[in-house]
Amino acid sequence: MSALNTLSNGQKAQLRNAFTLIDGESRDSSITKADLISLYKTLELKVPDDDSLKEMLTIDGEYKETGVNFTQFSNIMAKELQKYDDRMTIYNALKVFLIDSHNHELVIDVEVLKEACCSVQLGELGSGDNRLSRQAFDQLVEGFVKEQIDGTKLFTASKWLDAYID
């Protein structure tokens, strides 16, 4: 399914408005480097360097020197919104195991999370034992677990999300 198909009509309308604003005075139906520079200046923000501006106008590894049209812009934004939704889904699932939340940092007892993650059957029923192994789980959380004085091991899930989920 195309990322664009995941957007509501309201979101599509907001993207159209955003595109029109960024296109600016040129009204040439494409967002160019000049449009981006003008936008940053209008918002009184520091204009990114040339490489960063070119990166904003790069799609699938190809720099769009003549600009990005509305369809391309919409697809880029839909993919970015989809990443946000995926991240929020994982964040909300991890909140079920929450021990402590300070400044949106999720802290979870790693053994409780491991038990839950490694006991769930993945895949179709009858397709064999497809549970996540404890060894694979340990590798997935490596570097994000800290042992407390009492021996409890805590998983800093919010830092893990930042590292692995764009």
**Domain residue spans of the chain:** 3-84, 96-164
Is residue 127 over pLDDT 60?
no
Closest by CA to 109, choosing from 95, 123, 99, is 99
Please name the residues in contact with 159: beta carbons below 8 A apart, sequence gap of 6 or more: 105, 144
| 3-class secondary-structure state, position 103 | coil
Alpha carbons 163 and 153: distance in angstroms, whole number: 19
Residue 122 scores a pLDDT above 80: no
pLDDT for the residue numbered 1 = 44
With a cut of 60, say whether residue 76 has pLDDT above it.
yes
**Is 96-164 the same fold as 3-84?**
yes
> What CA–CA distance (Å, rounded) separates 65 from 62?
9
- What is the mean predicted confidence (pLDDT) over 92-97? 84
Query: Does 32 or 119 have the greater pLDDT score?
Result: 32
Please count the CA atoms within 13 angstroms of the CA of 154 that sit on its side-chain side. 15
CATH superfamily, domain 3-84, is: EF-hand (1.10.238.10)
159 pLDDT above the threshold of 70: yes
The amino acid occupying position 85 is D
Mean pLDDT of 96-111: 78
Mean pLDDT of the 71-81 span: 83
Q: Which fold has domain 96-164?
A: Recoverin; domain 1 (1.10.238)
Residue 4: which pLDDT band, with cuts at 50, 70 and 90? low
**pLDDT score recorded for residue 81:** 74
Say what the pLDDT of residue 84 is.
67
Over residues 112-141, mean pLDDT: 78
pLDDT, tens digit, 9 for 90 and up, residues 30-45: 999 999 998 888 888 8
Positive or negative torsion for Cα 101, 104, 110, 112: positive
- What sign has the CA pseudo-torsion 155, 157, 159, 162? positive
Residue 71 has pLDDT above 70, yes or no: yes
